[in-house]
Amino acid sequence: MLAVGLAMAVALPLAACGSGEDNAESGPVELTVAVWNLATTPEFQTLFDAFHKANPDITIKPVDILAADYPTKVTTMLAGGDTTDVITMKTLADYVRFAGRGQLKDITSLATSTEGSKLAGLDQYKQDGDKYYALPYRQDHWVLYYNKKMFDAAGQAYPTSLTWDQYVEVAKKLTSGTGDKKVYGAYQHTWRSIVQAISAAQTGGDQLAGDYKFFADQYKTALALQEAGATLDFGTAVTQKTGYASMFETGKTAMLPMGTWYISKILSEKQKGTTDADWAIAPMPQRPGASGVTTFGAPTAFAVNKKAKHADAAQKFVEFAASLEGAKAITGIGIVPAYKSDEILKQYFALPGMPTDELSKKAFSPDKVNPEMPVSDKTAKIDTILNEEHQLIMTKQKSLDDAIKEMESRVKNEVN
Amino acid sequence: MADLLTATPATASAAPSPRARDRRRARRNTLIGWSFILPNFLGFAVLTLVPVIAAFALSFMEWDSYNPPEWVGLDNFQRLLNDESTKIALRNTAFYALGHVPLTMLAALGLALLLNRKIAGVGFFRAAAFFPYITSMVAVAVVWNMLFHPQFGPVNQFLQFVGVDSPPGWTTSTTWAMPAIILTSVWRDMGYYMVLFLAGLQAIPVEQYEAAKVDGAGTWQRFRAVTLPGLRPVTFLVLILLTVQSFKVFDLVVVMTDGGPGRATLVLSQQIYRRGIIEGEFGYASAISLVLFLLVLVFTLVQFWFNNRRERR
């Protein structure tokens, strides 16, 4: 009895506050948008400026949150009945959680419009069969960054269409030096996606299904690379908290599989003169006999808070960010928009400092981009399990076969 | 009331019975006492007591932090019994406490004994020993992570220098990750508890040592018969503080290993954080917190009980 009363006491104020929603608005509006690391994530300000220019009566007030705390902070805000109008969906997993709790406004009509069909990654936001609670404004996919100068120096051909085995061989040939002077052929960052998501994307395996034998080949590649000393070993990368950007920008590695979000960063670093890496991008290595280029990617989206103070203006902003106009604005600073069109492609490759060779263009438009991780209410738990076993494989604390068996039995027993 | 005062001026001037006056004074003193602790208690009640009780209640519910909580009875606890990760976290936390508590106590006591004498520059050495404690935990964790690097870290280079052929992999090894964390935490905490022990040592009367010396007690006997009993209140305090602190360990683990490799260093508070804040299962996370709370409570009570028994002897 006491417990129920207390729970009510906790729940009541949450339910009571901030259910107001004024629809008919006129005059100037101050729209609040939750974003992360505003100072180092220029896309937000760029979008805000472009939106304000198109809608002079709406000014935008960003709610800046530390990137690492973003999901937890937003969870707390929404639970407390916060009325911030637009919430940026940093990951799909966050989106599913917020949408599942009924914290986001239904914007299906925007998603099913004619413009909506041009948005890459949109279908990943489909909920309950046919509902959408967010619109993606950017869609990143993974490519292989490489340092042309290092390839030239080693007399190697550029990685036009590698298989994973060839990737390991090339990496070995590009590795040189010892100790502090050691230069690696490739740098595989510590995230599990670099092994698991790419193998799911290229073999058609399902990371939620509980059968993980399809990971095996990709792990053999990753372990072979590590065994040969052609990449910084996993343990070192974790303990030293190695940054992939510094590995590539200081010429410590010749190849770097990474998402397209890195393009805008390296463009601006080159402009500032902090790196002289002579870079270009190539398609991700493929499995032998694969037809076309298959990689994985993840979208980023804006959603309207169900308790938004200015729901109409918020919806307008979400629509703008996903439109051609919004896409042009962020393309201007090297961000890959979700909106796909030839116009955007042309604008992107005309950016100063952007490599314009055919291979880079091919890498930028892969034949198939599969989701990094399928989303459901089980995603967060399975993600934790797969990540833990990933660490055990890469630090050689468990054999590959045992770890895959462990993944399968843990997902079966711990996720229901 | 007003009537009473104006209508009976004669009786009002008569002194009330001494007992009633005492009682009134006692009540006034109590009220004044309460008013002194009220500001602190209000803060405690609003920011700690209510949330703690709410968390206890939540452990019998399912709550996603947004929709109204749902009563599920003992489901969360049943789930806890079958949750492999929570069991591993419990085991790891116990392992950490078993290493961290005695080692920190020994190191702190040793340091205190060393620095409780009149030597040149004792102030400097005391400050040096205390320094790790005021260093940011994140900085400590990051730096020790580098020191423990399997190939290039100074720790293993030293071990190889003194003839250890295959030194441990520390934070990259499931066996050695927890010892690495324990060592780091001992290094960080010993200075603080050293200060407590130093205060305790200085409270022991010199006469007792002199008397023991006169009776012919050697250094070891003086330590056992005078120092240790004299330090008992401080030792007890340190023991309680360390135990509670060990069960709550979070920041060091998160920065150093984030529970890895695999689940080798996953601790209870981290498990609570993951289930609650990350996965949004606040009911289940509260159930784990309740278990953690009971654990700490039982340990503390047992220690109190032991201490009382020994004090009476």
Which helix (DSSP H) or strand (DSSP E) does residue B78 occupy? helix B75-82
- pLDDT computed for residue A290 by the predictor: 87
- Of chain B, the percentage scoring pLDDT greater than 70 comes to 95
CB of B53 within 8 Å of any CB in chain A? yes
- Helices and strands, counts by H and E, chain B: 17, 2
pLDDT in tens, B35-91: 999 999 999 999 999 999 998 999 999 888 778 888 988 889 998 888 888 999 999
Domain boundaries of chain A, sorted by first residue: 26-140+298-364, 142-295+372-414
Average pLDDT of the residues in A271-289: 92
Which residues have C-beta within 8 Å of that of residue A79, sequence separation ≥ 6? Answer: A14, B65, B66
- Which residue in chain B has the smallest CA separation from A1? B57
CB of B146 within 8 Å of any CB in chain A? yes
Which helix (DSSP H) or strand (DSSP E) does residue A274 occupy? none
- Which residue in chain A has the smallest CA separation from B61? A7
Least confident of A2-16, B100-114, B253-267: A2-16
Least confident of A412-416, B5-9, B302-306: B5-9
Lookup: tokens for A312:
């109409």
Q: Distance between CA A106 and CA A120 in Å, rounded?
A: 19
CA B134, B135, B136, B141 torsion-angle sign: negative
Which residues have C-beta within 8 Å of that of residue B57, sequence separation ≥ 6? Answer: A2, A3, A4, A6, A7, A10
Q: Would you place residue A19 in the very low, low, confident or very high pLDDT band (cuts 50, 70, 90)? A: very low
Given a cut of 60, whether residue A14 has pLDDT beyond it is no
CB of B279 within 8 Å of any CB in chain A? yes
User: Residue B121: left (phi > 0), alpha (psi -120 to 50), or beta?
Assistant: left
Q: Distance between CA B19 and CA B23 in Å, rounded?
A: 6
Least confident of A147-161, A301-315, B69-83: B69-83
CATH number assigned to the domain with residue range B77-312, chosen from the 4 options 3.90.1300.10, 3.40.50.300, 1.10.1740.10, 1.10.3720.10: 1.10.3720.10
Lookup: tokens for A313:
């203006």
Q: Distance between CA B75 and CA B89 in Å, rounded?
A: 20
CATH (residue range A142-295+372-414)? 3.40.190.10
| Residue A349: C-alpha distances to residues A268, A324, A357 (Å) | 15, 16, 9
Structure-token match 């494989």, residue found? A393
Q: Distance between CA A326 and CA A50 in Å, rounded?
A: 7
* Residue of A103, A380, A410 lying closest to B278 (CB–CB): A380
B84-114 and A400-414 are packed helices; what angle lies between their axes, rounded to 10 degrees?
110
Q: Would you place residue A21 in the very low, low, confident or very high pLDDT band (cuts 50, 70, 90)? A: very low
CB of A321 within 8 Å of any CB in chain B? no
| Chain A residues whose beta carbon lies within 8 Å of the beta carbon of residue B280 | 75, 97, 101, 380
CA distance B101 to chain A (A): 25
* Residue of A3, A14, A72 lying closest to B57 (CB–CB): A3
Average pLDDT of the residues in A273-286: 93
- pLDDT computed for residue B277 by the predictor: 82
Q: Distance between CA B283 and CA B281 in Å, rounded?
A: 6
CATH (residue range A26-140+298-364)? 3.40.190.10
Given a cut of 60, whether residue B159 has pLDDT beyond it is yes
How buried is residue A208: exposed, middle or buried, by Cβ count under 10 Å (0-12/13-18/19+)? middle
Quick check: B259 and A390 in contact, CB under 8 A?
A: no
pLDDT in tens, A377-398: 788 889 889 999 999 999 888 8
Q: Give the other-Cβ count within 10 Å of A109's Cβ.
A: 11
CB of B57 within 8 Å of any CB in chain A? yes
CA A375, A199, A170, A348 torsion-angle sign: negative
- Which residue in chain B has the smallest CA separation from A98? B66
Q: Would you place residue A230 in the very low, low, confident or very high pLDDT band (cuts 50, 70, 90)? A: very high
Q: If you average pLDDT over every residue of chain B, what do you get?
A: 88
CB of B143 within 8 Å of any CB in chain A? no
Given a cut of 80, whether residue A363 has pLDDT beyond it is yes
Q: Would you place residue B16 in the very low, low, confident or very high pLDDT band (cuts 50, 70, 90)? A: low
- pLDDT computed for residue A10 by the predictor: 44
Lookup: tokens for A389:
């076993």
CB of A4 within 8 Å of any CB in chain B? yes
Reported pTM: 0.80
CB of A68 within 8 Å of any CB in chain B? no
In angstroms, how far apart are the furthest CA atoms of chain A?
77
Q: Would you place residue A25 in the very low, low, confident or very high pLDDT band (cuts 50, 70, 90)? A: low
Q: If you average pLDDT over every residue of chain A, what do you get?
A: 88
* Residue of A6, A71, A381 lying closest to B54 (CB–CB): A6
Given a cut of 50, whether residue B4 has pLDDT beyond it is no
| Chain A residues whose beta carbon lies within 8 Å of the beta carbon of residue B277 | 72, 75
